[in-house]
Chains A and B, each alone.
Chain A
């Protein structure tokens, strides 16, 4: 009886509250009209907002519009005026924002020695950054001033379409990229990171073509599409015409035996490719994706994948992981960078070499320190010192060509491994995006196909070792 009473109380309370919530819906969600517009309409609205003349803008938009016309020094002066003695809260997917902030403060102190600013940098896990920014956006003045964030797909659909994050294009960055804040479309990337195919070369297996990674018996190590969404973005990007064509071209160069192995799958995918509205080579992309999801061996992070691949015992094993992990391998009796090969660096390798994704920079719509955020963003994207926290390592490429040049001149990443460890000689962004056939994330495309191609990926069977 007692438990019945308790259960009844709990159930009643839950139902009443849930229904009460439903009842409030119409009244609480009025501002955006009926808000029934499809997601695809939202970017257009946002674009329209940002295209409005500066004079009509208010609040954060007006500040951004003004900041986009200012030099680094002018922004620094504004930041000093705004944040002296205050605390700056940032949130990001990269822990190195924490390393960049003290350098930024030092820079401001070089202009005004009396300047001081406390800071806190948070790095949430498990996709919580989006929920954290969403809940912070509900306040009239937010806690977080800016963010450094990855996963273009979710940024587009959860942050930009909803107007939670604001893009600021620094003047010097635009000039370095031969564009202007008004004409530039898209988010502001701090850097591009690459995840590349590698394989353990202590055995006899060879990977001469990107289709070899999905060939019979291959089970490359990968973080998994659910644990890191940029991995799923990579798979969705493969269906874009340009990259599907790359896969088709790589397929054409396979020998007859391998072609015969893949052909039934490609044919079987044709109907799905048509249903999903993909281009002429869409079936090749879907076939590769299906075989990849059916075969990759899921790991918790790129760190353990790297630890595994560089071990001599991981004979013939392959993986798709962040290139920069190689920098942290210490040579020992059984572990060596020379136990692996970067597939795209090998002579005769054909096809995609990996994928690239960006760390983007945004102001929050209710940023408590907008000028300081603009100055910090400009500092990271327009100065070598600002990018140094990331630039000192291989595999991260500044979106500012001038900064990228300065970083290379300082750290010589292209010769980072020398003759001893050729796999660590980073060939740079230009090489990777041309010869290296790096698949680049396009936030708009990803968000468009997120529930078509994305849902198609979701229903694919995953590999379990031992099966």
Chain B
């Protein structure tokens, strides 16, 4: 009998470990799993802790008669005091209504536009596709300010007359001017490009044979739409809801400017006297983020059902909307996008030449002498003539310092978030059945679903203590930005990596090609467009992000806080100029990337 040699368990273990570490995806998942757990969970813990802390000079000190320590009095007071309705329930209800309405508006507007661009023979697609994403490029509250300038009136809102009231004596009702409707409209328009890109992507690639089969079977068009087309874009609609709901919930500036009390605005207003209770509001917003993550999981499961149905037929037939119809619909959308995309820019440009903020007297009088260049060319510190001690835009150090600071921040955030997100997407795609990979994927995505204002608050609390105080530093902004924007890149990367067959990389492995070379020569070139989107989206979002950074730095540090400062001060010429600078910057970068790499935000839908 031949003796069977006992296996050396430690050698096997060592071998397993060696094999495990020889796979880069394992290292990526292990490393980022730990880092992201900390970067996501630590701020949550910090803010949870803050809800129990006693803050001197606030309600918890008054109620506990203590100047330090921990208590649950903030919870009791928030949920049960006379102010519970004003401080919690009404803002919560408003927030949910705002988020739901924003989702509906963005999906209807963006989805309809996506359908027209991808599935019909509508004219002017290339122009419309480019112009449609403008509201997403602009900081969201600037549309709110434009709304004020257009529709406010002394008669209804008790302010000076806006353009329509002053010129045409048209007075819009208050529900149109302030509150939930205009807030939802502004946010809906701002996020409609999300719906356009996501739904458009599916419309563009969906299998037309299914609809054709239904047509051959003499199925009515409405039935095809509801039984075939809509179910196929359901995952994209769900994705849009997931992305837009959390973003709308965490929006501070739009409801602030349009006079709607939400959890975000309440967080800011309560922070001075009800500090601990404000942190509970942030926790509530975060809970919504976790709930949305759960919904996302469910939608992912259901999405599988649909993706198995599709198979590219390459016979995408376009609905004919008539010889005249294709022009009429195109022109209608040119008009609509003029008011959502071009008109705000025209107003921004005009504003920088008005003698006083919002003073359109040159329009009423027809006298161009009422325009001025003082907002651009004043080269001294004067307080008269509306300058409030500010130098003109061209000479304003605050604006230009903030501009370069923002550029630096956006570039660094995009590079780090884009790279980490791409690696995570790659690793998760490789280990798609692993629970750990799924955890890393979720923990990376969670910050995106948490309202920005709550994430900002959490990072502020985490990094303002006796050991470390990073307030008003680029380090803090970069950390917050990276954590918040990794999901852009990780999702974009994951979706594209899942499309790549393993055999491609396996062939390279057999050839003993190093991992770096496999990535740079095979994987990245194949999915270049999606990966670049993973860098572009954080860059663009970071450039005009306010809610996330509002609590982390002073005004003048970055452009969005500077813009908000000028808007709040009523110095619309400066804020408008900053808007123009932002829009031009984003367009320049988008064009550059487009020229260099062929990728752009709306590429693949109607942009190209």
A interface residue numbers (CB < 8 A to B): 2-3, 5-7, 10, 13-14, 17-18, 21-22, 25, 29, 32, 35-39, 42, 95-96, 99, 122-128, 130-132, 135-136, 138-139, 143, 154, 156-158, 161-162, 219, 221, 226-227, 229, 297-311, 313-315, 317, 327-335, 392-393, 447, 450-451, 454-455, 458-459, 464-467
Contact = CB atoms under 8 A, between A and B. Distances in A.
Contacts of A154: 57, 272
26 contacts: A2-B439, A6-B293, A10-B41, A13-B41, A17-B48, A25-B70, A29-B69, A128-B460, A130-B272, A135-B471, A139-B466, A161-B57, A226-B269, A297-B158, A303-B388, A303-B568, A303-B570, A313-B160, A313-B161, A317-B159, A332-B355, A333-B367, A451-B59, A454-B273, A455-B83, A465-B157
Contacts of A301: 568-570
B56 A135 contact: no
B328 to A, nearest CB: 36
Contacts of A305: 570
Given A317-B154, A335-B356, A330 B466 contact: no
Contact of B156 (A17, A335, A465): A465
Interface string B57-89: 111011001111110000000000011001000
Contacts of B270: 226
Contacts of B364: 333-334
B464 A131 contact: yes
A334 B554 contact: no
Interface residues of B, number: 94
B565 A14 contact: no
A450 to B, nearest CB: 7
B561 interface: yes
Contacts of A329: 356, 386
B469 interface: yes
Contact of A6 (B86, B178, B268, B442): B442
B67 A466 contact: no
B77 to A, nearest CB: 10
B67 A42 contact: yes
Instruction: Give me the 5 closest cross-chain CB pairs, A-B, nearest first.
Output: A466-B174, A303-B570, A157-B57, A138-B466, A158-B57
B293 A306 contact: no
Contacts of A334: 359, 361, 364
A125 B154 contact: no
Given A99-B381, A459-B86, 15 more contacts: A2-B439, A3-B294, A6-B293, A7-B290, A10-B44, A21-B53, A95-B389, A122-B472, A221-B159, A227-B269, A301-B570, A317-B154, A332-B361, A450-B57, A451-B59
A38 to B, nearest CB: 5
B134 interface: no
B173 interface: yes
Given A158-B56, A333-B364, A314 B154 contact: yes
A46 B580 CA distance: 51
Contacts of B520: none
B290 A10 contact: yes
B554 A124 contact: yes
Contacts of B178: 464-466
A442 B83 CA distance: 26
Contact of A17 (B45, B173, B257, B271): B45
Nearest to B261: A462
Contacts of A297: 157-159
A303 B569 contact: yes
Interface in B143-194: 154, 156-161, 165-166, 173-175, 177-179
A143 B561 contact: no
B357 interface: yes
Contacts of A298: 259
B555 interface: yes
B235 interface: no
Contact of B554 (A21, A36, A123, A458): A123
